[in-house]
Amino acid sequence: MARVSRLPVLAAIIVAMLGASADAQAIASSAGPQSVSVTVYRDPNRTAERAMNLGWLNGYALVSEVRTIDIPAGEADIRFEGVAGGIIPESAIVTGLPDGVVEKNQDAYLLSPASLLDRSLGKRVHLRRTSRATGAVTEQDAIIRTGADGAVVLQTEAGFEALRCSGLPETIVYDQVPPDLSAKPTLSVRTRSRAATRATVTLSYLATGFDWQANYVATLNPAGDHVDLFAWVTLANGDETGFANANTQTVAGKPNRESDPPRLGRGGGELSLQCWPQGTTSDIEADTTTPVEMMPPAPAPMAEAMDIVVTSARSKAVGGMQAVQEELGDLKLYRIPEPVTVAANAQKQVALLEKSGVAVQTFYRATISPWMGDEPFRATRILKTRNRTQEGLGLPLPAGGVVLFAANRGRPLLIGEGSVGDKAIGEDVEIEIGDAPGLFVRATRTDVVGDVANYRLVVTNDQPRPVRFDAEFNGIDTASIGDGKGVRLGRRNGRPLWSVIVPANGSATLAYRIKNDN
Amino acid sequence: MRHLLLASALLASPALAQTSQGDVAVTIYNDNLALVQDTRQLAIGAQRSRIEFPDVSGQIRPETVTLSGEGLGIVEQNFDFDLLSPQKLMEKAVGQQVTLVRTNPANGAETRERATVLAVNGGVVLRIGDRIEVLRDDSLPVRVIFDKVPENLRARPTLSVTVESERSGTRPVRLSYLTPGLGWKADYVTLFDEKAGRIDVQGWITLTNTTGTTFSNADTLLVAGQVQQQNQGYSRGYRPPRPNNIRKPGIESADRERLGDFYLYPLKERTTIANQQTKQVSFLDVVGAPGRKAYEYDNAWLGTMDEAQSANTVLKFSTSKDQGLGDALPAGIVRVYMRDARGNAQFIGENSIGHTPMGSELGLKTGEAFDVKVQPVVEKRERLSPSKWRTSMRYTLTNARPEAVTVDLVQSGLDFYWDDTRIVSESMKSERRSSDETQWHVPVPANGSATVTAVFETRF
pLDDT grade for A193, boundaries at 50, 70 and 90: confident
Q: Is the pLDDT of residue B232 over 60?
A: no
**pLDDT value, residue B421:** 83
Q: What whole-number distance in Å separates Cα of residue B180 and Cα of residue B34?
A: 6
Q: b or e along B6-40 (b: 16 or more beta carbons within 10 Å of the residue's beta carbon)?
A: beeebeebbbbbeeebbbbbbbbbbbbbbbbbbbb
Alpha carbons within 13 A on the beta-carbon side of A296: 2
**pLDDT value, residue A255:** 95
Q: Do A12 and B352 touch (CB under 8 A)?
A: no
Q: Backbone dihedral region of A464: left (phi > 0), alpha (psi from -120 to 50 degrees) or beta?
A: alpha
CB A181 within 8 A of CB A114: no
What is the per-residue pLDDT across B417-443, written as a single tens digit (0 to 9) for each?
667 788 999 999 999 988 889 999 999
**pLDDT value, residue B6:** 38
Query: A162 CA to chain B: closest CA distance, Å?
Result: 5
Q: Do A494 and B352 touch (CB under 8 A)?
A: no
Q: What is the dihedral of CA B255, B256, B260, B263, to 10 degrees?
A: -130
Q: Identify the top-confidence range among A184-188, A235-239, A297-301, B52-56.
A: A235-239
Q: Which of A124, A261, A479 sits opposite B10 (nearest CB)?
A: A124
Q: Does B83 touch chain A (CB under 8 A)?
A: yes
**pLDDT value, residue B295:** 97
Q: Do A17 and B447 touch (CB under 8 A)?
A: no
Q: What is the pTM of this model?
A: 0.82
- Report the pLDDT averaged over residues B357-386: 92
- Residue of A140, A166, A247 for testing the chain B interface, max B β-carbons within 10 Å: A166
Q: Does B12 touch chain A (CB under 8 A)?
A: no
- Residue of B110, B370, B407 for testing the chain A interface, max A β-carbons within 10 Å: B370
A265 chain-B contacts, CB cut-off 8 A: 276
pLDDT grade for A482, boundaries at 50, 70 and 90: low
Q: Is the pLDDT of residue A14 over 70?
A: no
The per-residue DSSP string of A99-111 comes to T--SEEEEE--BS
SS3 of residue A291 by DSSP: coil
A45 chain-B contacts, CB cut-off 8 A: none
**pLDDT value, residue A429:** 94
Q: Within chain A, how many helices (H) and strands (E) appear?
A: 3, 31
Nearest to A89 by CA among A244, A345, A342, A260: A260
B10 chain-A contacts, CB cut-off 8 A: 7, 9, 13, 124, 141, 143
Q: Do B123 and A176 touch (CB under 8 A)?
A: no
Task: Name the closest residue on chain A to residue B236, using Cα atoms.
Answer: A262
pLDDT grade for A288, boundaries at 50, 70 and 90: very low
Q: Does B3 touch chain A (CB under 8 A)?
A: yes
- Residue A301: exposed, middle, or buried by beta-carbon count in 10 A (0-12, 13-18, 19+)? exposed
Residues 6+ apart with CB under 8 A from B176: B35, B36, B37, B38, B65, B66
Q: Which of A9, A168, A330 sits opposite B313 (nearest CB)?
A: A330
- Report the pLDDT averaged over residues B219-230: 82
Q: Do A332 and B17 touch (CB under 8 A)?
A: no
Q: In this complex, how many residue pairs, one in chain A and one in chain B, have their CB atoms less than 8 Å apart?
A: 334
B333 chain-A contacts, CB cut-off 8 A: 90, 258
DSSP state of A376: -
What is the per-residue pLDDT across A336-375, written as a single tens digit (0 to 9) for each?
999 999 988 888 899 999 999 999 999 999 998 877 888 8
Q: Do B350 and A168 touch (CB under 8 A)?
A: no
B8 chain-A contacts, CB cut-off 8 A: none
Residues 6+ apart with CB under 8 A from B278: A89, A90, A105, A106, A108, A264, B206, B207, B208
B120 chain-A contacts, CB cut-off 8 A: 276-277
Q: Does B102 touch chain A (CB under 8 A)?
A: no
**Helix ranges (DSSP H) in A94-161:** 113-119
What is the per-residue pLDDT across B104-139, written as a single tens digit (0 to 9) for each?
888 888 899 999 999 998 889 999 989 999 998 888
What is the per-residue pLDDT across A30-57, written as a single tens digit (0 to 9) for each?
877 889 999 999 999 998 888 888 888 9
Q: b or e along A332-351 (b: 16 or more beta carbons within 10 Å of the residue's beta carbon)?
A: bbbbbeeebbbbbbbbbbbb
Beta bridge mates, A63 = A38, A205
Nearest to A436 by CA among A412, A459, A419, A456: A459
A478 chain-B contacts, CB cut-off 8 A: 380
Q: Do A158 and B189 touch (CB under 8 A)?
A: no
Mean pLDDT score across all residues of chain A? 82
- Report the pLDDT averaged over residues B237-254: 79
Q: Does B167 touch chain A (CB under 8 A)?
A: no
Q: Do B306 and A493 touch (CB under 8 A)?
A: yes
Nearest to A64 by CA among B339, B116, B168, B439: B339
Q: Does B31 touch chain A (CB under 8 A)?
A: no
Q: Do B155 and A121 touch (CB under 8 A)?
A: yes
B378 chain-A contacts, CB cut-off 8 A: 494
Query: A146 CA to chain B: closest CA distance, Å?
Result: 4
Q: Does B349 touch chain A (CB under 8 A)?
A: yes
Mean pLDDT score across all residues of chain B? 87
- Report the pLDDT averaged over residues A53-77: 91
**Which residues 271-300 of B have a C-beta within 8 angstroms of A?**
271, 274-282, 293
Q: What angle do CA B320, B321, B327 make, to 5 degrees?
A: 75
**pLDDT value, residue A486:** 59
Query: B287 CA to chain A: closest CA distance, Å?
Result: 15
Q: Do B83 and A37 touch (CB under 8 A)?
A: no
Q: Which of B7, B202, B340 sits opposite A7 (nearest CB)?
A: B7
Q: Which of A257, A276, A491 sits opposite B90 (nearest CB)?
A: A276
Query: B105 CA to chain A: closest CA distance, Å?
Result: 6
Q: pLDDT over 70 for what percent of chain A?
A: 83
A277 chain-B contacts, CB cut-off 8 A: 87, 90, 120-124
Q: Do A145 and B345 touch (CB under 8 A)?
A: no
Selected residue with higher pLDDT from B15 and B452: B452
**Which residues 378-417 of B have a C-beta within 8 angstroms of A?**
378-383, 394, 398, 400
A279 chain-B contacts, CB cut-off 8 A: 122-123, 134
B137 chain-A contacts, CB cut-off 8 A: 280-282
Q: Which of A123, A254, A264 sits opposite B210 (nearest CB)?
A: A264
Q: Which of A162, A257, A517 sits opposite B350 (nearest CB)?
A: A257
What is the per-residue pLDDT across B253-298, written as a single tens digit (0 to 9) for each?
988 888 888 899 999 889 999 888 889 999 999 999 999 999 999 9
Q: Which of B87, B99, B274 sits opposite A274 (nearest CB)?
A: B87
Q: Which of B142, B147, B366 sits opposite A167 (nearest CB)?
A: B142
SS3 of residue A217 by DSSP: strand
Beta bridge mates, B20 = none
Tell me how far apart the terminal alpha carbons of chain A are, to the nearest angstrom. Answer: 94
A204 chain-B contacts, CB cut-off 8 A: 345
Q: Is the pLDDT of residue B444 over 70?
A: yes
Task: Name the closest residue on chain A to residue B375, using Cα atoms.
Answer: A493
Task: Name the closest residue on chain B to residue A472, using Cα atoms.
Answer: B306
User: What are φ and ψ of residue A150, in 5° steps?
Assistant: 80, 10
Q: Is the pLDDT of residue B153 over 90?
A: no
CB B181 within 8 A of CB B199: no
- Report the pLDDT averaged over residues A97-120: 83
Query: Could you tell me the sign of the dihedral formed by the alpha carbons of A97, A103, A104, A108, in that order?
Result: negative
